[in-house]
Amino acid sequence: MPTKKDDVYGDHISHKFNDELMELKTEFLKMGGMVEAQVENAVQALVDGDGHLAEQIRAKDKQVDKMEMDLDEEATLIIARRQPTARDLRLVISVIKMVADLERVGDEAKKIAKLAIKLSEEGQAPRGYVEVRHIGTHVLGMLHDSLDAFARLDSEQALRIMKEDKRVDEEYQAAARTLLTFMMEDTRNISRCMSVMWVLRALERVGDHACNIAENVIFMVKGEDVRHTPVEEAERVVGR
Amino acid sequence: MNTLNTTVTSEAEMPEENVVPVQEEKPAETVIEEGKTVGRPFADDAKFKLRNVEVFYGQDRAIKNISLDIGRNEVIAFIGPSGCGKSTFLRCLNRMNDSIDICRVKGSLNLDDQDIYDPKRDVVELRARVGMVFQKPNPFPKSIYDNVAYGPRIHGLANRKSDLDDIVENSLRKAGLWDEVKDRLDATATGMSGGQQQRLCIARAIAVSPEVVLMDEPCSALDPIATAKVEELIAELSESYTIVIVTHSMQQAARVSHRTAYFHLGHLVEVNETNKVFTSPEHELTESYITGRFG
């Protein structure tokens, strides 16, 4: 989906360099799309009790890992060959970091898939699935938007994702309280509720990774590191 | 104030319908405002204070209203595409442009608050204070010893042979060449390798105890190992000298300099901390140049 804004990496004197940077961007987005589907399917497998789909997710994680290594190699070669500077350098460095985030998101999807298999085998009435679906939709939206912000170099969208993260944390806390209530109602629920809790925890982590990607997008576009800074600081950087 | 776009066509000269597409092609930041340099062109402890400098070759204005400070013991790199005026500007700093008849320099250029272009100034003394190393190693066709001893002899810096020996040894040591040549100081300098010749020229430049060393693409004729040695030398020299280096190698500027100045079509577009210039430059033109987007 190359848009006109993509041209900022496509107007070097060296066409080969253009191709290399575009390839890096495209492959990153491909990996992003794959990881997004992994999370989406994992949540689906869980709420549907679909063990088969869950197995597929676990198998596909190997492809995600492979893409991480390929992208890292490509980024390393660009540094070695081109000694990129300024925005090109920021792109390459950010991709290296964001790839690690995507790989972690893939791991979280795998974790959810494992729990989906376990829960489907136990086969009891679903508890906390409403919360899983809700938070799942929320963090998937964030992940999608962060990749979109990367593709379009949209720092304002990235800033919105950073702000979203707080809401996910709140939702996670609320969902944890609900599950706690279920556990107190009947101690036989504990094991099952704990599994759902792990799923929620994994989804909350996906939100964190989306947030990391958003921070890197701001760095790519604005050249300033907004990690570990108050949101007001990020707002200032993006508003420049 | 004269506002120019990158093609240096002032708006007044262009028919109105042509102005619009040009502006659409380039973002607003590519416009150079004459005399306006973004970033940090001034220094607290300035060795050189250069204000509103203009250089003409006949009718051509090669340097357009540049103001810049060069700090004491600073390494500053001048970068920019060919013909942008960086070497011309460098040569103003020790009046090397004097030898070009059609060249005129305007503006105020001060070294330690003294006018470089004061008609009463002794140019030979100025060049002893502001030494220069050129693109191609240019040793005299004399022995290694005589190359280094040449300046101190002319300037009468040594009264005794032993003093001169000390100056030669010290200069060669500082240039990182002593161990390689100490047993053959009488050998002719032109028989040395290119990298050794360039370091000999640096030794020759520092033998007269200059305060500033100007380097005009000192490594462009050298292999990577010789380049690394010269860069190492620049880092060591910066402890006691002010160094101004013109280079076409962006990586070299990034490695050796404290501040980097970007020249474009006779304008000084941006001066900033080198770390900033190579990670997130302020001006769009600087960004385009260092990322290889135009030539």
- pLDDT, tens only, A144-178: 999 999 999 999 999 999 999 999 999 999 999 99
Question: DSSP state, B280?
Answer: S
What is the model's pLDDT at position A189? 86
Contacts of B250 in chain A (CB under 8 A): 83, 85
**Nearest residue in A to B285, CA atom:** A86
pLDDT, residue B24, reads: 39
Q: Is A114 contained in some domain?
A: yes
Q: By three-state DSSP, how is residue A164 classified?
A: helix
Comparing alpha-carbon positions, the chain A residue that sits nearest to B249 is A83
Which chain B positions have a beta carbon within 8 Å of A11's beta carbon?
A: 293
- Distance (Å) from the C-alpha of residue A222 to the closest C-alpha of chain B? 8
Are the Cβ atoms of A13 and B291 closer than 8 angstroms?
no
Distance from CA of B39 to the nearest CA of A (A): 15
Phi-psi region of B34 (alpha: psi -120 to 50; beta: other; left: phi over 0): beta
The reply to whether residue B279 touches residue A17, judged by beta carbons under 8 angstroms, is no
Q: Chain B within 8 Å of A89 (Cβ-Cβ)?
A: yes
- The partner residue sitting opposite B293, judged by closest CB among A11, A223, A224, is A11
Regions of chain B where pLDDT drops below 50: 1-28, 295
A109 has pLDDT over 90: yes
pTM above 0.95, yes or no: no
Q: Is A125 on the interface with B (CB under 8 A)?
A: no
Write down the residue that tokens 């994680």 correspond to.
A61
> In chain A, which among 55-84 make CB contacts under 8 A with chain B?
83-84
Question: Left, alpha or beta for B35 (phi > 0: left; psi -120 to 50: alpha)?
Answer: left
Range of the domain at A19: 9-239
Does the distance separating the beta carbons of B295 and A223 come in below 8 Å?
no
CB of A240 less than 8 A from some CB of B: no
Cross-chain CB nearest to A13 (options B287, B290, B293): B293
Residues on chain A touching B293 (C-beta within 8 angstroms): 11-13
Q: Is A88 on the interface with B (CB under 8 A)?
A: yes
Tell whether A1 is covered by a domain: no
CB contact under 8 A, A17 and B281: no
Interface membership of A12 toward B (CB under 8 Å): yes
CATH of the domain at A103: 1.20.58.220
Contact A88 B294 (CB under 8 A): no
Q: How confident is the model at residue A7 (pLDDT cuts 50, 70, 90)?
A: low
Q: Identify all chain B residues contacting A13, using CB atoms and an 8 Å cutoff.
A: 292-295
Q: What pLDDT, on the 0 to 100 scale, is given for residue B223? A: 86
ipTM above 0.90, yes or no: no
Which residues on A lie below 8 Å from B294 (Cβ)?
13
Q: Does domain B73-84+122-290 sit in CATH 3.40.50.300? A: yes
Q: Do A85 and B293 touch (CB under 8 A)?
A: no
Long-range contacts of A55-62 (CB under 8 A, 24+ apart): A55/A113, A55/A117, A57/A109, A57/A110, A57/A112, A57/A113, A58/A110, A58/A113, A58/A114, A60/A34, A61/A106, A61/A107, A61/A109, A61/A110
Q: Which of B125, B65, B64 is nearest to B95 (CA)?
A: B125
Domain range annotation of chain B: 1-33, 73-84+122-290
- Best probe of the B interface among A85, A87, A92, by most B CBs < 10 A, is A85
Instruction: Judge contact between B16 and B248, C-beta under 8 A.
Output: no
| Mutation site, B25, B252, B279, B283, interface A, largest A CB count within 10 A | B279
Q: What is the pLDDT of residue A11?
A: 85
Comparing CB atoms, the residue among A13, A14, A85 nearest residue B278 is A85
Instruction: Output the pLDDT for position B175.
Output: 87
The DSSP string of B144-201 is HHHHHHHHHHHTT--SSHHHHHHHHHHHHHHTT-HHHHGGGTTSBGGGS-HHHHHHHH
Q: Cβ of A14 and B292 within 8 Å?
A: yes
Is A86 within 8 Å of B251 when comparing Cβ atoms? no
| Separation between Cα atoms, residue A84 and residue A8, nearest integer Å | 14
In a domain? residue A25: yes
Closest Cα in chain B, distance from residue A67 (Å): 27
Tally of domains in chain A: 1
Chain B within 8 Å of A153 (Cβ-Cβ)? no
pLDDT > 90 in chain A, percent? 88
Answer whether residue A2 is part of any domain: no
Instruction: Measure A97 CA to nearest chain B CA, in Å.
Output: 16
If you count residue pairs, one on A and one on B, with CB atoms under 8 Å apart, how many are there? 39
